[in-house]
Amino acid sequence: MFFENNTCVKCGHALGFLPELLDLSALEPVGGDLFESLAPAAKGQRHRLCANGRQHDLCNWLVPADDPQPFCAACRLNEVIPDLSVAGNKERWARLEKAKRRLVYTLLKLRLPLDAVATEGRPALRFRFLGDNGAAAPVLTGHASGVITVNIVEADDAVREQRRVSLHEPLRTLLGHFRHEIAHYYWDRLIADSPWLERFRALFGDERDDYAKALQRHYDQGPSPDWLERSVSAYASSHPWEDWAETWAHYLHIVDTIETAAGFGLTLKPRHPAAESMTADPKKAAKEEAGFDLILNTWFPLTYALNSLNRGMGLSDLYPFVLSAAAIEKLRFIHEVVEGSRQPNGS
């Protein structure tokens, strides 16, 4: 079964994802639109499919039967969805939601705070999926005051690849967009006006530098000549906020891929005696208590193996990046921020 499946192809059971348990469960219908989960931890509990699953067949997450909210924990974050009267927009929306649910899964797994409802002094997290209408200025993917906007054209593979090539990016994916933009949300949520701010500035730079001018300089003159020595990507060198966002996205790339490898029981044990440094056990690195050094020492061998597998299929490297010592220290900082921001279980 894959994370996105809504039916088991072997036994025919309906499947649904339980956000409160982070578990994909087989389901038994119990009348009406209700199901009972077969997951032992949810025994006796009843759920219904998210409204976007029932109405549009593009979500497999579940909602507790006694929850008045028709949408699941991921879909209720939507503020604007694409215009479904436009040909192709439902397919684009489905791809966007697939990537967004993987993002939300990781945030829940890391137990990071999610402001689904506005509170005093803090806006709710919201997503807006918009398309260019031809008359106004193009929709820009970005974040502002808790609202993440994504131009739905990014869901078209050909367009996204053309932009990747024209912008000289080694990797451009929908999930990468979501992981990058949520980083801006968490900068506001976790770093701004916090005890972390001075360490952030020491590592990433002073975010008070003019943001618009910094981006314009990046697009006019290209990245900083020494970006490879201090950042995870060329774009990260444009401004401290973008350095944070790119590094945060890479941290989510790392922890999510390691968890997936652990879920499949993958271990790396090269036979050559000189390859001892290429051994790794993702199961250990995927544990919540795993330290950053263990995560990093697992990531390097794993990416070497995954990149080699991709090359064996004639594909580009899965992780086409080189992490400098400075970039690693920024990743370490983000790990510490995540560790220090975990919400209590069940919150």
For the whole model, what pTM was predicted?
0.95
CA distance 89 to 95: 10
Q: Which residues pair with 147 in a beta bridge?
A: 126, 144
Domain ranges of the chain: 14-72, 74-192, 197-347
Alpha-carbon span 38 to 44, nearest angstrom: 9
Q: What is the pLDDT along the chain (347 residues), one digit of tens a residue?
A: 788 988 988 888 899 999 999 999 999 999 889 999 988 898 889 999 999 999 999 999 999 999 999 999 999 999 999 999 999 999 999 999 999 999 999 999 999 998 878 777 788 899 999 998 776 788 999 999 999 999 999 999 999 999 999 999 999 999 999 999 999 999 999 999 999 999 999 999 999 999 999 999 999 999 999 999 999 999 999 999 999 999 999 999 999 999 999 999 999 998 887 777 889 999 999 999 999 999 999 999 999 999 999 999 999 999 999 999 999 999 999 999 999 999 987 55
